[in-house]
Structure 1
Amino acid sequence: MSEVTADLPSYIRPCGQCSWRVSVWVQPGAKKEGVTGEYQDSVRVRINAPAVDNKANKALAAFVATRLGLKKRNISIASGHSNRKKVLLVESDVEPRWEGIIPAGA
């Protein structure tokens, strides 16, 4: 485990050599997208897309991938497809840029 991985918040958990699980609390239909803090041991993320026809889930995966410096195909929803609280599976051969989803001051 690298030093970066050892210092991660509790909502980011390694689950294999090249994969991590990230607990996310999603606010769909927000006016402004962004990472806004922590909530219930998850990172809180606001997404513009509405929670209709899987739009918010797709937008969340794209948003998190961009913030981590990865491609959308590296992010999948492991659980919580129809809930605000979700667990994302991040799979990548390189260490993601975790600072992209760690709220300022955390």
Structure 2
Amino acid sequence: MVNWYRYDNSSHLILKLYIQPGAKNTAVTGLHAGNLKIKLAVLPIDGRANKCLVRFLADCFQVPISQIEIKEGNKSRQKVLLIRKPGLNPNVLYDERIAT
């Protein structure tokens, strides 16, 4: 089992992601080197990819954009994001039991 997510002491969700910008569609595609891989349908120009990623995660977890923060990797494909007090489980993005 890969640890692409964890909860901190405040019940905030921490996600380890690998981002592939410039795809046809924005979607979760599986695991990549211990990170959850997400393709984004935008190019990484002027922060558009990061904005798209945050909007995508806000929609998936049904939280306001203000509850999501990029902690590491602002200009990298590998990112660590924090979602403050998500109401939904990380399985809304990717369920390893179903994918394998």
Q: TM-score range by the shorter chain?
A: 0.7 to 0.9
Q: Per-residue displacement from partner, 1:58-93 (whole Å, max 9, x unpaired)?
A: 11011011111212111110000010000001102x
Q: Per-residue displacement from partner, 1:10-32 (whole Å, max 9, x unpaired)?
A: 11111122312100000111111
1:98 aligned partner:
90
Counterpart of 1:52 in 2: which secondary structure? coil
**Contact 2:61–2:88 at 8 Å: present in 1 too?**
yes
**Contact 2:68–2:82 at 8 Å: present in 1 too?**
yes
Paired AA for residue 54 in structure 2: A
Gaps of 5+ in 2: none
Paired AA for residue 105 in structure 1: A
Matches within 5 A, 1:10-29: 10-29=3-22
Q: Give the total of aligned pairs.
A: 98
Scaled by the length of structure 2, what TM-score is found? 0.87
2:47 aligned partner:
54
Scaled by the length of structure 1, what TM-score is found? 0.83
Separation in structure 2 between the aligned mates of residue 64 and residue 19 of structure 1, nearest angstrom? 14
Two-structure CA RMSD over aligned residues (Å): 1.8
**Contact 1:69–1:97 at 8 Å: present in 2 too?**
no
Paired AA for residue 99 in structure 2: G
Report the CA distance between 1:9 and its aligned residue. Answer: 5.1
Matched, 1:41 2:34: yes
Counterpart of 1:17 in 2: which secondary structure? coil
Gaps of 5+ in 1: 1-7
Separation in structure 1 between the aligned mates of residue 18 and residue 43 of structure 2, nearest angstrom? 15
**What percentage of residue pairs aligned between the two structures are identical?**
24
After superposing on structure 2, the runs of 4+ consecutive aligned residues of structure 1 that deviate more than 4 Å are: none
